[in-house]
Amino acid sequence: MTHTNRSPFEAYDEKIAAADLSKYRKKGPPPWAQTLIDAIKGEGVDGATLLDIGGGIGVIQHELLASGAARATNVEASSAYLAAARGESERRGLLDRVTYHHGDFVDLAESIQPADVVTLDRVLNVYPDWERLASLSADRSTRLYGVVIPRDTLFVRLVIAGINLAQRLGRKRVRAAIVPIEALERTLQERDLHRCFSENVGPAWLVLLYRRG
Looking at every residue in the chain, the average pLDDT score rounds to 94
119 dihedral zone (left: phi>0; alpha: psi -120 to 50; beta): beta
pLDDT digits (tens, 9 = 90+) for 28-53: 999 999 999 999 999 999 999 999 99
Which pLDDT does position 11 carry in this prediction? 82
Task: Give 19-74 as a DSSP string.
Answer: HHHHHHHHH-S-HHHHHHHHHHHHH--TT-EEEEET-TTTHHHHHHHHTT--EEEE
What does the CA dihedral 61, 66, 72, 75 come to, rounded to 10 degrees?
20
pLDDT higher than 70, residue 211:
yes
Which pLDDT does position 113 carry in this prediction? 96
Round to whole Å and give the CA distance between 164 and 185: 26
Q: What is the mean pLDDT of residues 112-126?
A: 97
pLDDT higher than 80, residue 170:
yes
Q: What is the mean pLDDT of residues 94-112?
A: 96
| Amino acid at residue number 166 | A
Query: Taking the CB of residue 192, how many other CB atoms lie within 10 A of it?
Result: 12
Which pLDDT does position 87 carry in this prediction? 97
pLDDT digits (tens, 9 = 90+) for 50-98: 999 999 999 999 999 999 999 999 999 999 999 999 999 999 999 999 9
How much of the chain exceeds pLDDT 70, in percent?
A: 97
Q: Is 109 helix (H, G, I), strand (E, B) or coil?
A: helix
User: What is the CA 191 to chain-centroid distance, rounded?
Assistant: 19
Question: What's 128's DSSP letter?
Answer: T
List the beta strands (DSSP E) in 54-171: 71-76, 98-102, 115-121, 141-150
Topology annotation, domain 8-212: Rossmann fold (3.40.50)
